[in-house]
Structure 1
Amino acid sequence: MNEEFILALKQLESEKGIPEDVIIEALETALVSSYKKNFGTTQNVIVEINRDTGEISLAAEKEVVDEVFDENTEIAVEDARRENPRLEIGDIYYEKIDPEKFGRIAAQTARQVVIQRIKDAERDVIYDDYADRENEIITCDVQRVTKGNVFVDLGKTEAILPVSEQIQGESYHQGDRYKMLVLEVNKQPKGPQIVLSRSHPNLVRRLFELEVPEIHDGIVEIFSIAREAGSRTKIAVFSKDEDVDPLGACVGFKGSRVKTIVDELHDEKIDIVIWEKDIAAFIGNALSPSKVVEVFINQREKSAMVVVPDYQLSLAIGKEGQNARLAAKLTNWKIDIKSETQFDEYLDSLGMDGDDFRTYFENTQAEAPDVSAADEYSPVEEKIETNEADNFASIGGLTGMDLSDLFKDADSSSEEDYEEEAEKAEEDE
């Protein structure tokens, strides 16, 4: 029976990952609880379980006295000497107890203690497994959807994808398989709560690490990410190796790498831009696919004024201000965008030329960007593009240079075509 007990412990350890010592300690605690049910105290009980043989030893510690007042903690010297003639008053006598003689209630108590301890240990194992995996990607199947919250099966436990972490417009059905980000792992009375996310920017970061070996190896690094889940993401990258093009590494051969990520995010637009040490150049890149004529910087206020061609003002601001908003998040700078005409009028109102304004802007509180009233969405934003000259690449429906080499169904349009469409859009507005 003892051999069977040891085998059972090893089986629990292998199947549930619960250490053998935890189970033995649970059993010892259970025996102590059973003893208390029978004798009303635990102060004088000693439990030992041999880790090798499974032999269980249970004994009550009693003081040898001349006259007994408490039978649970004391024993008469005459009775003690029947077992050990050398015992004297004041010595400690160990009375062996057979656990099989415990009553039904005591046995039930022991069973409940063991079961509860094993459950607690199993929850701790699951928590420890996933606590170290925060901000990692896991692939999981949808188990059920309840009140908008999505529950997924992780094998030993389940995790929740709350409504707040879902991609707007994305539907989830039982059996669907998704890549999700482990957002946080919390200890709860009923076990660890694992919260997942499909909308967090770090999901895009981890997907690029999976798909782009240069990022995984640290040759190409992600500087920052700005994301509006389900709609558009901007990601700034740079290379530590001059021989490695960070843009090409992220896009992949014929766009294969970034297309895999776009497919996983259900056609969310992804803009890849180059990070530059020069903040003016970086802000210009961040506003891609729009071309930038000039950038004025106020370092103290971390604010920039960007001048773009008249016909690209709508493109620079983006639909409902999205392009400007994401660029501001990506660079962590306030960005004010003006067309060339608006900028010339602004200079006239100040009575300055460009050089004077640069000095003035660098030393004056910068204007906050106004992207709340966005221009109409330009029809040129419906195309797929990369533009290496602008240090920009985009997949999933943006503008710029044709990607017919990457996707057979992409339009082939010249820059003049884009300008004509932009002008037509402004006329329509």
Structure 2
Amino acid sequence: MAKKQKEKNNEVILALKAIVEEKGISEELLFDTLEDALVAAYRKNYASSGTENVRVDMNKETGEIKVFSLRQVVSEVNDKDQEISLEEAKAIDEKYELLDMVQKEVTPENFARVAAQSAKQIVTQRIREAERNIVYDEFHEKEFDIVIGHMQRKDKGNLYIDLGKTETILPPSEQIMGEEYEFNEKIVLYVVEVKQNPKGPMILVSRTHPGLVKRLFEKEVPEIYDGIVEINAISREAGSRTKIAVSSNDPEVEPMGACVGPRGIRVQNIVNELGNEKIDIIKWSEDPAELIENALSPAKVINVIIDEDTKSSKVIVDDNQLSLAIGKEGQNVRLAAKLTGWKIDIKNEEQYEKELQDALEKEAKEDPNVEKAIDSDLENLEKLEDEADIEGVIEDVDALKDAKLEEETLKEEEVLESQNIERDIELVPKDDDEYKFKETDETETEIVADEDYEYKVPEEEKED
């Protein structure tokens, strides 16, 4: 009988160790769980009350089970399940004193067989809880990181993804539009959050989160992984376009070039993973105006006027850059605003001048002392005129030049007539902006506006 029981105990040990291997649960945790289950089984089937203090020891090599009752030595017993008198304790062993814990084996005959069924349900439940905790801990460490899964099935737009130890759902809102996956096809996911749930951990994943782009760059670009190049900001419209601002902690490392990689291979690998999503890599700047200008790439910007109080900006561009700066359906400026954190209002030169003029007129009507109020706007306009080739300004300058030219012509003709000097006139290089004469085919004198030439008397006239 004892031999058969020993064999059964060995079978139990082997079964438990198989569970350890299969479920990935620690052996210590499993045996502790089993001992707790056996305590509950003893209290249910053998204890005089459910409050009796007992302990179960299980030999991890032989599977032998022993049950011990635990009672504290007291001078006056109030709870027989928890306490024992000093006299009774001394009868068991003279060594016991007050407040000692008396341990007495109370293992029932055939306890292992009787307790097995009662303990099975508890052990199964605890194993499931342990499995859920293991999965939760594993994926909680991967929160805000990338995991690899395999698509198992699609139902009502949801993709069910096998992550190995558990399964997750990729809802339509987190899928890149237009992407399709075959059964068991690999899929790269970003872990947004991991929640503990009574039915098991809930792993929220995404393909549209900007964090996915960041992690892919960290994986592809060693300089980012090593902290030499930093990703300062990302804005994304998944499946269409992403803007990423980067900076370098090493003056010898160009951050944009590092991200692009040799022959563009680094960024191309990321583009391929994201279903040919376009990626704009721009240089980060602490200067808001410069950052906004960079963020509107590939459009060329003339000027950026910022308002610190409202964290808004006006961006002036050439007319032929306006649509490029705004982007298709406003995407370029929308992504730039998200990237920089600034409101961006894009105008061409004509629109900005009109807006400024309207504002000046309005202020002039409302405030007779408008000059002080509009100083900053005038400065902006002057700066814009310095930086841009404004057609109206050029026309005014041309008109002034024409007037000066006509005046010089009249003066020269009067001098020639009064002195009755017949001479040839030629053009020579000069450094100033004066107007000069040149000889026509009919030997008549005309005036030209050429800033690179001035007139002088030919050499043969000098000899006379």
Shorter-chain TM band: 0.7 to 0.9
Matched AA of 1:180: L
Q: 1:58 to 1:85 in 2, by over 3 A?
A: closer
Q: Distance in 2 between matches of 1:338 and 1:23?
A: 70
Q: Distance in 1 between matches of 2:72 and 2:144?
A: 58
Counterparts of residues 210-359 of structure 1 (less than 5 Å): 210-351=219-360, 356-357=376-377
Structure with larger Rg: 2
Question: The residue matched to 1:272 in structure 2 has which SS?
Answer: strand
Question: The residue matched to 1:277 in structure 2 has which SS?
Answer: coil
Task: Please tell me whether residue 19 in structure 1 is matched to residue 26 in structure 2.
Answer: yes
Cα drift, residue 98 of structure 1: 3.5
Cα drift, residue 55 of structure 1: 3.7
Whether the aligned pair in 1 keeps the contact of 2:65 and 2:112 (CA below 8 Å) is no
Matched AA of 1:35: Y
Whether the aligned pair in 2 keeps the contact of 1:59 and 1:95 (CA below 8 Å) is yes
Cα drift, residue 13 of structure 1: 3.7
Cα drift, residue 240 of structure 1: 1.3
Cα drift, residue 175 of structure 1: 1.6
Q: Distance in 1 between matches of 2:351 and 2:149?
A: 51
Counterparts of residues 375-414 of structure 1 (less than 5 Å): none
Q: Distance in 1 between matches of 2:246 and 2:259?
A: 9
Residue number among 168, 180, 183 corresponding to 2:192 in the alignment: 183
Question: The residue matched to 1:306 in structure 2 has which SS?
Answer: strand
Matched AA of 2:26: P
Cα drift, residue 347 of structure 1: 2.3
Whether the aligned pair in 2 keeps the contact of 1:142 and 1:176 (CA below 8 Å) is yes
TM-score w.r.t. length of structure 1? 0.73
Q: Distance in 2 between matches of 1:266 and 1:313?
A: 28
Cα drift, residue 360 of structure 1: 8.3
Q: Which residue of 1 aligns with 2:425?
A: none
Q: Which residue of 2 aligns with 1:423?
A: none
Q: Name the stretch that deviates more: 346-355 or 159-168.
A: 346-355
TM-score w.r.t. length of structure 2? 0.68
Cα drift, residue 167 of structure 1: 1.4
Counterparts of residues 77-116 of structure 1 (less than 5 Å): 94-98=104-108, 100-101=110-111, 106-116=115-125
Whether the aligned pair in 2 keeps the contact of 1:162 and 1:195 (CA below 8 Å) is no
1:266-309 alpha-carbon deviations (Å, 9 max, x no partner): 01111111111221111001001111010001112111100011
Q: 1:184 to 1:62 in 2, by over 3 A?
A: closer
Question: The residue matched to 1:113 in structure 2 has which SS?
Answer: helix
Cα drift, residue 156 of structure 1: 1.3
Q: 1:74 to 1:204 in 2, by over 3 A?
A: closer
Q: Distance in 2 between matches of 1:99 and 1:358?
A: 102
Q: Distance in 1 between matches of 2:143 and 2:83?
A: 55
Question: The residue matched to 1:195 in structure 2 has which SS?
Answer: strand
Q: Name the stretch that deviates more: 18-27 or 266-275.
A: 18-27
Matched AA of 1:121: A
Q: 1:291 to 1:61 in 2, by over 3 A?
A: closer
Whether the aligned pair in 2 keeps the contact of 1:62 and 1:95 (CA below 8 Å) is no
Q: Which residue of 2 aligns with 1:406?
A: none
Paired residues in the alignment total 357
Question: The residue matched to 2:55 in structure 1 has which SS?
Answer: strand
Over the matched positions of the two proteins, sequence identity in percent amounts to 52
Q: Distance in 1 between matches of 2:93 and 2:312?
A: 93
Counterparts of residues 130-149 of structure 1 (less than 5 Å): 130-149=139-158
